[in-house]
Amino acid sequence: MNPRQTHDFDLFVIGGGSGGVRAARMAATRGVRVGMVESGRMGGTCVNVGCIPKKLYSYAAHYAEAFVEARGFGWELAHAPSLDWPTLKANRAREIERLNGIYDGLMVNAGVQRLQGRGRIVDAHTVEVTAEDGATTRHSARHILIATGGKPHVPGIEGRELVVTSDDMFDLPTLPRRLVVVGGGYIGCEMASIFHGLGAQTTLLYRGEQILRGFDDEVRNFTADEMRKAGVDVRVHCDVARIEAGDGGVRRLLLSDGTPLEADVVLYATGRQPNVEGLGLAEVGVKQADNGAVQVNAHFATHVRSIHALGDVVGRLELTPVALAEAMALVDHLFGPAPGKPVRTMDYDTIPTAVFTHPPVGTVGLTEAQARQKFDAIRVFRGDFKPLKHTLSGRSERTLVKLIVDAASDRVVGLHMVGADAGEIVQGFAVALKCGATKAQFDATIGIHPTSAEEFVTLREVART
């Protein structure tokens, strides 16, 4: 019997975030029948409480810096600028609502059957959908895709009910006068920079030896120094023992060394965990890691071969573009590539990323420590400098650029930047690294002057080997 006749759908997607939407839309263009269930707003973490609102608020925070810098360029502000927090929130909400509509439109226009509710896997080919009114329906599919993303994790600290997570930060009732951020990963560092820029007195607490674990050590140290120079109180080797409620909504923290600290808002940015609650995975035999991440093979199939998973829920690289690429690779594997195109596969090497701290970080390839482990010998080129803009702005912010080269092949295997527009600059160089560019080819490339980007093609002196 034709499998298309035995199931309602060829692919049923649980989760309307970046990966789920891309998989559903690409599969539908192959002419297969696709269904999708989403319990919240379309777009997932990235659109609603992640990448997009974070970047919008980062732009807002940069205006505070720009107002100060403008004086060095001759601009006089008649009145001291002030932030209208409700206006920022309302404008952000309107843009997010627009994007939600676009994502819904993508599904409708592609012919995807869109369901609102919570999905639970009943067996290898069946998903039960519970609507908001409690009504349930069951849908069968040849393939089921779990694309439910992740959610913030808050440890079981005394007073945890008094903290907020990154999901809450964009809609706080009022802009906090004093903010404490617990956690030194990219989310914690970004939120600390953003809200400091918006006007909050900000303290970042991290129990490890340095923020941004997993990034290049020199980048970590440089970023921490620049954040401190900007006014963020970055404290490492520092943890919270408990949190108590004070008068007027004040949060009183007792640090592990006995130091007291008060804040209006305490943000816990201590990692994320896969969003798998209520999916029924254990009951149908889908294996998970200790942290709940769905275990999949190279083709994103679980131990139940008709059930697949991708994106943050599998706990590989938790980046929106990675989820998009995984979705396209999965669709090609299940339903064939687009006409005239090869079957896409997922390559996790040389994936660029950015951290929208102030100043931002851009990075692609290996850290210096990783390169030393992988290659017999390396050459490190680096430079830090005051950008041209700040020769008049009066700010002391500096920029770091760094190249890591495999000595044997002359290939550039790592490229890192801390400074204005780092994400925009590193994206372009990521193409070069993906193509296997050598240091000699970097040297032969003419720079665009005067820019920070040109520093990557003018680094001549080896800093260390």
DSSP secondary structure string for all residues of 303-352 = SSTTEEE-GGGGTS---HHHHHHHHHHHHHHHH-PSTT-PPP----TT--
Assigned superfamily of 353-457: FAD/NAD-linked reductase, C-terminal dimerisation domain (3.30.390.30)
User: What are 59-71's pLDDT values in tens digits?
Assistant: 999 999 999 999 9
* Per-residue confidence band for 84, with pLDDT thresholds at 50, 70 and 90: very high
What are 262's two structure tokens? 């008060």
What are 234's two structure tokens? 């970055």
Marked catalytic residue, from 7, 299, 390, 449: 449
* Per-residue confidence band for 389, with pLDDT thresholds at 50, 70 and 90: very high
Judge contact between 309 and 294, C-beta under 8 A.
yes
Cα distance between residue 83 and residue 108, in whole Å: 39
Residue 420: CB atoms within 10 A of its CB come to 17
Q: Is the pTM of this model over 0.85?
A: yes
User: What are 322-342's pLDDT values in tens digits?
Assistant: 999 999 999 999 999 989 999
What are 339's two structure tokens? 């006409």
pLDDT at 1 exceeding the cut of 50:
no
How confident is the model over 7-34, as a mean pLDDT? 97
Burial class (CB in 10 A: 0-12, 13-18, 19+), 337: middle
Residue 319, pLDDT score: 97
Judge contact between 145 and 286, C-beta under 8 A.
no
What are 304's two structure tokens? 């139940």
CA dihedral 181, 290, 307, 334 (to 10 degrees): 70
- Give me the DSSP letters along 395-419: ----EEEEEEEETTT-BEEEEEEES
pLDDT at 5 exceeding the cut of 80:
no
Looking at every residue in the chain, the average pLDDT score rounds to: 97
Judge contact between 335 and 365, C-beta under 8 A.
no
CATH number of 3-49+88-151+273-335: 3.50.50.60
Domain residue extents for the chain: 3-49+88-151+273-335, 160-270, 353-457
What are 298's two structure tokens? 């190279």
Measure the CA angle with vertex 163, ends 157 and 169; round to 5°.
Answer: 145
How confident is the model over 382-395, as a mean pLDDT? 96
How confident is the model over 331-358, as a mean pLDDT? 96
Residue 78, pLDDT score: 87
User: What are 226-252's pLDDT values in tens digits?
Assistant: 999 999 999 999 999 999 999 999 999
Judge contact between 317 and 18, C-beta under 8 A.
no
User: What are 47-56's pLDDT values in tens digits?
Assistant: 999 999 999 9
Q: Which CATH architecture has domain 160-270?
A: 3-Layer(bba) Sandwich (3.50)
How confident is the model over 402-423, as a mean pLDDT? 98
358 included as an active-site residue: no
**DSSP E strands: which ranges in 4-125?**
9-14, 34-38, 113-116, 118-123
User: What are 417-448's pLDDT values in tens digits?
Assistant: 999 999 999 999 999 999 999 999 999 999 99
Common-topology check for domains 160-270 and 353-457: no
